[in-house]
Structure 1
Amino acid sequence: MPTVAITVRGHVQGVGFRWALRAEAERVGVTGWVRNRRDGSVEAHVSGAQGEIDEIVAWAHHGPPLARVERVEIAGVRDAEDGTAFEIRASA
């Protein structure tokens, strides 16, 4: 199953980005995780069908209403974790 790492930069912490991303991931049906990074970005690993991943990536470009996304970085992940849900992880 395809997996991507998504890093979202801008004003994306303190605006509910992680919770909104989890809700969107559950709506779309992907698995993975999301967390804040110490550098102020939000990082997520998303696994699912390519069309589902594309939906999450498109959503990440704007995020929730209070977010101001400046840049979204996407990278493939070779050794993806198997999961059955989408979780919010502790900051890293």
Structure 2
Amino acid sequence: MQEKYPDVIQLPEGCSGGHMACQHPTIPGFEMKFVWKINVTDNGVVTPKLSLLLKMSEQGMAGPARMNVAQQAPSCFQSLLRLVGTEAAIEILIKHMCMDK
């Protein structure tokens, strides 16, 4: 995805890191961070966990609508993951963020 959205996506820890950051192209201080963990039990059961964290500056939080989005985004992201899968869910959010330029 970094090739598709090079102006938006950063991999602060490199390709093998535990998160991907997406910064809004025009709103300073607005960032989506996708964090992943993979748990493996002693029996070899693999359980991936993907979370969305939002970081918004006061400028980005202006207005009750944006505050509501910031509060509901992580749980909505979990629903989106179940509906469309990991890659599609992340891409939907990135595309939506880029449309707001």
Asked which structure has the greater CA Rg, the reply is 2
**Structure 1 length-normalised TM:** 0.30
Whichever structure has more helix as a proportion of its residues is 2
Q: Which has the higher contact order (CA 8 A, sep 6+)?
A: 1
Whichever structure has more strand as a proportion of its residues is 1
